[in-house]
Amino acid sequence: MNHDHDQESGGLRWNKQRGNVWVDLQPMLDRLFLPFERMLVDIVTTEPAKAVLDIGCGTGAITLALADRLGQSAHCTGVDVSEAMLDHARQRALATGAHNVRFIAGDAQRHRFSPGTFDAAVSRFGVMFFDDPVAAFANISAAVRTGGTMTCMVWRGREENPFMTAAERAAGPLLGWEDEPEARREAPGQFAFASATHVFRILAAAGWRDVDITPTDVTCSLTAGDLITYSRRMGRVGAILPHLDDALREDVIAKLDAAFADFIVEGHAAFNAACWIIRAKAGLSE
Protein backbone atom coordinates (compact mmCIF):
# COMPACT_ATOMS: atom_id res chain seq x y z
CA MET A 1 0.00 0.00 0.00
CA ASN A 2 1.45 3.24 -1.07
CA HIS A 3 0.84 6.67 0.34
CA ASP A 4 3.29 9.20 -1.12
CA HIS A 5 2.35 11.15 -4.20
CA ASP A 6 5.63 12.51 -5.55
CA GLN A 7 6.81 10.25 -8.32
CA GLU A 8 10.33 8.98 -8.66
CA SER A 9 11.40 5.57 -9.89
CA GLY A 10 9.07 3.42 -7.82
CA GLY A 11 11.44 0.59 -6.98
CA LEU A 12 14.33 2.91 -6.22
CA ARG A 13 12.24 5.08 -3.95
CA TRP A 14 10.56 2.28 -2.04
CA ASN A 15 13.78 0.36 -1.52
CA LYS A 16 15.32 3.35 0.18
CA GLN A 17 14.09 5.57 2.99
CA ARG A 18 10.34 5.31 2.58
CA GLY A 19 10.14 1.55 2.52
CA ASN A 20 12.00 1.55 5.81
CA VAL A 21 9.60 4.14 7.27
CA TRP A 22 6.62 1.94 6.42
CA VAL A 23 8.36 -0.99 8.11
CA ASP A 24 9.15 1.07 11.21
CA LEU A 25 5.59 2.38 11.46
CA GLN A 26 3.79 -0.80 10.38
CA PRO A 27 1.74 -1.34 13.59
CA MET A 28 0.55 2.27 13.63
CA LEU A 29 -0.27 2.31 9.91
CA ASP A 30 -2.13 -1.00 10.14
CA ARG A 31 -4.26 0.47 12.91
CA LEU A 32 -4.90 3.59 10.86
CA PHE A 33 -5.93 1.67 7.75
CA LEU A 34 -7.78 -1.17 9.49
CA PRO A 35 -11.21 0.06 8.29
CA PHE A 36 -10.05 -0.30 4.67
CA GLU A 37 -8.64 -3.76 5.37
CA ARG A 38 -11.96 -4.93 6.79
CA MET A 39 -13.92 -3.53 3.85
CA LEU A 40 -11.65 -5.09 1.24
CA VAL A 41 -11.54 -8.49 2.90
CA ASP A 42 -15.34 -8.53 3.25
CA ILE A 43 -15.78 -7.66 -0.44
CA VAL A 44 -13.22 -10.09 -1.80
CA THR A 45 -14.47 -13.00 0.28
CA THR A 46 -18.14 -12.63 -0.73
CA GLU A 47 -17.27 -15.02 -3.57
CA PRO A 48 -15.11 -18.13 -3.19
CA ALA A 49 -11.49 -17.54 -4.13
CA LYS A 50 -8.65 -20.00 -3.97
CA ALA A 51 -5.88 -17.74 -5.29
CA VAL A 52 -5.68 -13.99 -4.64
CA LEU A 53 -3.14 -11.40 -5.80
CA ASP A 54 -2.49 -8.38 -3.53
CA ILE A 55 -1.01 -5.56 -5.61
CA GLY A 56 1.32 -3.17 -3.80
CA CYS A 57 1.08 -5.36 -0.71
CA GLY A 58 3.61 -3.39 1.33
CA THR A 59 4.16 -4.98 4.74
CA GLY A 60 1.47 -7.57 4.07
CA ALA A 61 -1.61 -6.53 6.06
CA ILE A 62 -4.15 -7.25 3.32
CA THR A 63 -2.41 -10.40 2.08
CA LEU A 64 -2.31 -11.86 5.58
CA ALA A 65 -5.87 -10.84 6.44
CA LEU A 66 -7.19 -12.47 3.26
CA ALA A 67 -5.15 -15.62 3.86
CA ASP A 68 -6.56 -15.86 7.36
CA ARG A 69 -10.17 -15.33 6.24
CA LEU A 70 -9.98 -17.70 3.25
CA GLY A 71 -8.22 -20.46 5.17
CA GLN A 72 -5.52 -22.96 4.32
CA SER A 73 -7.27 -24.20 1.19
CA ALA A 74 -6.64 -20.81 -0.44
CA HIS A 75 -3.37 -19.11 -1.35
CA CYS A 76 -2.58 -15.40 -1.30
CA THR A 77 0.29 -13.72 -3.14
CA GLY A 78 1.55 -10.23 -2.35
CA VAL A 79 3.64 -8.29 -4.87
CA ASP A 80 5.53 -5.07 -4.17
CA VAL A 81 8.63 -3.20 -5.32
CA SER A 82 10.01 -2.66 -1.81
CA GLU A 83 12.38 -5.37 -0.58
CA ALA A 84 12.33 -3.86 2.91
CA MET A 85 8.56 -4.10 3.19
CA LEU A 86 8.47 -7.57 1.65
CA ASP A 87 11.07 -8.85 4.12
CA HIS A 88 8.89 -7.52 6.92
CA ALA A 89 5.79 -9.12 5.40
CA ARG A 90 7.57 -12.49 5.22
CA GLN A 91 8.60 -12.19 8.87
CA ARG A 92 4.99 -11.46 9.83
CA ALA A 93 3.82 -14.54 7.92
CA LEU A 94 6.34 -16.71 9.73
CA ALA A 95 5.45 -15.24 13.10
CA THR A 96 1.74 -15.93 12.60
CA GLY A 97 2.17 -19.34 11.01
CA ALA A 98 0.57 -18.26 7.74
CA HIS A 99 1.69 -20.96 5.33
CA ASN A 100 -0.75 -20.06 2.56
CA VAL A 101 0.98 -16.81 1.55
CA ARG A 102 3.95 -15.80 -0.51
CA PHE A 103 5.50 -12.43 -1.24
CA ILE A 104 7.27 -11.62 -4.50
CA ALA A 105 9.39 -8.63 -5.44
CA GLY A 106 8.28 -6.97 -8.61
CA ASP A 107 6.40 -4.20 -10.36
CA ALA A 108 2.88 -5.43 -11.13
CA GLN A 109 3.01 -3.43 -14.36
CA ARG A 110 5.86 -5.56 -15.73
CA HIS A 111 6.07 -8.74 -13.65
CA ARG A 112 5.52 -11.92 -15.65
CA PHE A 113 2.70 -13.60 -13.77
CA SER A 114 1.55 -17.00 -14.96
CA PRO A 115 -1.57 -16.39 -17.10
CA GLY A 116 -4.94 -16.94 -15.46
CA THR A 117 -3.41 -17.87 -12.11
CA PHE A 118 -5.62 -15.84 -9.77
CA ASP A 119 -9.32 -15.82 -8.99
CA ALA A 120 -9.12 -12.29 -7.68
CA ALA A 121 -6.83 -9.29 -7.48
CA VAL A 122 -7.00 -6.73 -4.71
CA SER A 123 -5.20 -3.54 -3.76
CA ARG A 124 -5.35 -1.03 -0.94
CA PHE A 125 -3.91 2.21 -2.31
CA GLY A 126 -1.30 0.40 -4.40
CA VAL A 127 -2.34 0.95 -8.03
CA MET A 128 -2.06 4.73 -8.55
CA PHE A 129 1.68 4.77 -9.16
CA PHE A 130 2.14 2.90 -12.44
CA ASP A 131 3.94 4.93 -15.10
CA ASP A 132 1.75 3.19 -17.73
CA PRO A 133 -1.51 2.31 -16.00
CA VAL A 134 -3.13 0.79 -19.09
CA ALA A 135 -0.21 -1.62 -19.50
CA ALA A 136 -0.25 -2.34 -15.77
CA PHE A 137 -3.94 -3.20 -15.59
CA ALA A 138 -3.69 -5.26 -18.79
CA ASN A 139 -0.86 -7.23 -17.18
CA ILE A 140 -2.91 -7.76 -14.03
CA SER A 141 -5.92 -8.80 -16.09
CA ALA A 142 -3.86 -11.44 -17.87
CA ALA A 143 -2.89 -12.88 -14.47
CA VAL A 144 -6.55 -13.26 -13.44
CA ARG A 145 -8.73 -16.06 -14.80
CA THR A 146 -11.62 -15.21 -17.12
CA GLY A 147 -14.42 -13.80 -15.01
CA GLY A 148 -12.15 -13.26 -12.04
CA THR A 149 -12.51 -10.04 -10.10
CA MET A 150 -10.41 -7.04 -9.18
CA THR A 151 -11.19 -4.87 -6.16
CA CYS A 152 -9.10 -1.76 -5.48
CA MET A 153 -9.31 1.15 -3.09
CA VAL A 154 -7.84 4.43 -4.33
CA TRP A 155 -8.00 8.01 -3.14
CA ARG A 156 -10.42 10.51 -4.61
CA GLY A 157 -9.23 14.11 -5.07
CA ARG A 158 -6.80 15.96 -2.87
CA GLU A 159 -9.46 18.62 -2.24
CA GLU A 160 -11.66 15.93 -0.68
CA ASN A 161 -8.82 14.65 1.51
CA PRO A 162 -7.58 17.61 3.57
CA PHE A 163 -5.90 15.40 6.17
CA MET A 164 -3.77 13.65 3.55
CA THR A 165 -2.66 16.97 2.07
CA ALA A 166 -2.27 18.92 5.33
CA ALA A 167 1.49 18.42 5.66
CA GLU A 168 2.32 19.65 2.17
CA ARG A 169 -0.07 22.58 2.37
CA ALA A 170 1.45 23.62 5.69
CA ALA A 171 5.12 23.08 4.88
CA GLY A 172 5.14 23.68 1.14
CA PRO A 173 5.56 27.47 1.28
CA LEU A 174 8.51 27.15 3.68
CA LEU A 175 10.14 24.56 1.41
CA GLY A 176 9.57 26.45 -1.82
CA TRP A 177 7.18 23.85 -3.20
CA GLU A 178 4.68 25.02 -5.80
CA ASP A 179 1.17 23.67 -6.25
CA GLU A 180 0.93 20.79 -8.68
CA PRO A 181 -0.08 22.07 -12.12
CA GLU A 182 -3.48 20.97 -13.42
CA ALA A 183 -1.78 19.17 -16.31
CA ARG A 184 -0.08 16.81 -13.87
CA ARG A 185 -3.17 15.93 -11.87
CA GLU A 186 -3.41 12.49 -13.49
CA ALA A 187 0.33 11.77 -13.33
CA PRO A 188 1.36 8.76 -11.23
CA GLY A 189 0.86 9.49 -7.54
CA GLN A 190 -1.47 9.30 -4.58
CA PHE A 191 -4.32 11.20 -6.23
CA ALA A 192 -3.79 10.03 -9.81
CA PHE A 193 -7.20 8.29 -9.85
CA ALA A 194 -9.22 11.21 -8.48
CA SER A 195 -11.31 11.25 -11.66
CA ALA A 196 -13.62 8.26 -12.04
CA THR A 197 -13.86 9.00 -15.78
CA HIS A 198 -10.08 8.71 -16.05
CA VAL A 199 -10.15 5.36 -14.23
CA PHE A 200 -12.95 4.05 -16.46
CA ARG A 201 -10.92 4.92 -19.56
CA ILE A 202 -7.82 3.15 -18.21
CA LEU A 203 -9.64 -0.04 -17.24
CA ALA A 204 -11.60 -0.21 -20.48
CA ALA A 205 -8.41 0.21 -22.50
CA ALA A 206 -6.77 -2.52 -20.39
CA GLY A 207 -9.56 -5.00 -21.16
CA TRP A 208 -11.48 -5.02 -17.87
CA ARG A 209 -15.27 -5.37 -18.00
CA ASP A 210 -18.26 -4.63 -15.74
CA VAL A 211 -16.33 -1.77 -14.17
CA ASP A 212 -17.96 -0.23 -11.12
CA ILE A 213 -16.49 2.77 -9.32
CA THR A 214 -18.24 3.68 -6.08
CA PRO A 215 -17.44 6.68 -3.85
CA THR A 216 -16.72 5.61 -0.30
CA ASP A 217 -16.02 7.72 2.77
CA VAL A 218 -14.22 6.08 5.66
CA THR A 219 -13.70 7.56 9.12
CA CYS A 220 -10.12 7.09 10.32
CA SER A 221 -8.44 8.03 13.57
CA LEU A 222 -5.03 8.31 15.20
CA THR A 223 -4.09 8.99 18.78
CA ALA A 224 -2.53 12.39 19.33
CA GLY A 225 0.80 10.68 19.97
CA ASP A 226 0.61 8.67 16.75
CA LEU A 227 -0.34 11.82 14.89
CA ILE A 228 2.94 13.45 15.88
CA THR A 229 4.85 10.46 14.51
CA TYR A 230 2.73 10.38 11.37
CA SER A 231 3.16 14.08 10.61
CA ARG A 232 6.93 14.01 11.06
CA ARG A 233 7.74 10.80 9.21
CA MET A 234 5.19 10.15 6.49
CA GLY A 235 4.94 11.44 2.95
CA ARG A 236 6.97 13.97 1.08
CA VAL A 237 7.47 16.23 4.10
CA GLY A 238 8.52 13.34 6.32
CA ALA A 239 11.10 12.29 3.76
CA ILE A 240 12.79 15.68 3.64
CA LEU A 241 12.44 16.71 7.29
CA PRO A 242 15.57 14.90 8.59
CA HIS A 243 17.70 16.61 5.94
CA LEU A 244 16.74 20.20 6.75
CA ASP A 245 18.89 22.52 8.82
CA ASP A 246 17.80 22.85 12.44
CA ALA A 247 16.08 26.22 12.16
CA LEU A 248 14.05 25.32 9.09
CA ARG A 249 13.16 21.93 10.55
CA GLU A 250 11.76 23.58 13.67
CA ASP A 251 9.75 26.02 11.55
CA VAL A 252 8.32 23.18 9.48
CA ILE A 253 7.43 21.16 12.59
CA ALA A 254 5.62 24.17 14.04
CA LYS A 255 3.61 24.49 10.83
CA LEU A 256 2.80 20.76 10.88
CA ASP A 257 1.65 20.86 14.50
CA ALA A 258 -0.60 23.84 13.81
CA ALA A 259 -2.10 22.26 10.68
CA PHE A 260 -2.86 18.89 12.27
CA ALA A 261 -4.19 20.43 15.50
CA ASP A 262 -7.43 21.15 13.60
CA PHE A 263 -8.11 17.41 13.40
CA ILE A 264 -7.65 16.62 17.11
CA VAL A 265 -10.69 16.08 19.31
CA GLU A 266 -10.35 14.64 22.83
CA GLY A 267 -6.89 13.24 22.29
CA HIS A 268 -7.54 11.68 18.89
CA ALA A 269 -7.18 12.90 15.34
CA ALA A 270 -10.29 11.97 13.38
CA PHE A 271 -10.66 12.53 9.66
CA ASN A 272 -12.60 11.43 6.63
CA ALA A 273 -10.85 9.41 3.92
CA ALA A 274 -12.51 10.04 0.57
CA CYS A 275 -11.94 7.04 -1.70
CA TRP A 276 -13.22 5.08 -4.65
CA ILE A 277 -13.88 1.37 -4.48
CA ILE A 278 -13.14 0.00 -7.95
CA ARG A 279 -14.55 -3.36 -8.98
CA ALA A 280 -14.13 -5.05 -12.36
CA LYS A 281 -14.02 -8.43 -14.06
CA ALA A 282 -11.28 -9.85 -16.22
CA GLY A 283 -11.47 -11.29 -19.69
CA LEU A 284 -15.17 -11.07 -20.44
CA SER A 285 -16.36 -10.34 -23.94
CA GLU A 286 -18.35 -7.21 -24.52
**What domains are there in the chain, each with its CATH number?**
10-157+181-220+274-282 (3.40.50.150)
Which pTM does this prediction carry?
Answer: 0.91
pLDDT tens-digit map of 13-60: 444 567 789 999 999 999 999 999 999 999 999 988 999 999 999 999
Using only C-alpha atoms, the chain has a radius of gyration, in whole angstroms, of 19
Q: How far is CA 21 from CA 223, 235, 236, in A?
A: 19, 10, 12
Q: Parallel, antiparallel, or unpaired for β 208-223 and 268-282? A: antiparallel
Q: Are 172 and 251 in contact (CB under 8 A)?
A: no
Neighbours of 97 (CB within 10 A): 6
Residue 218 has pLDDT above 60, yes or no: yes
Give the separation between CA 153 and CA 213, rounded to whole angstroms: 10
Residue-wise pLDDT for 106-162, tens only, equals 999 999 999 999 999 999 999 999 999 999 999 999 999 999 999 999 999 999 999
Q: How many other C-beta atoms are found inside a 10 Å radius of the C-beta of residue 116?
A: 15
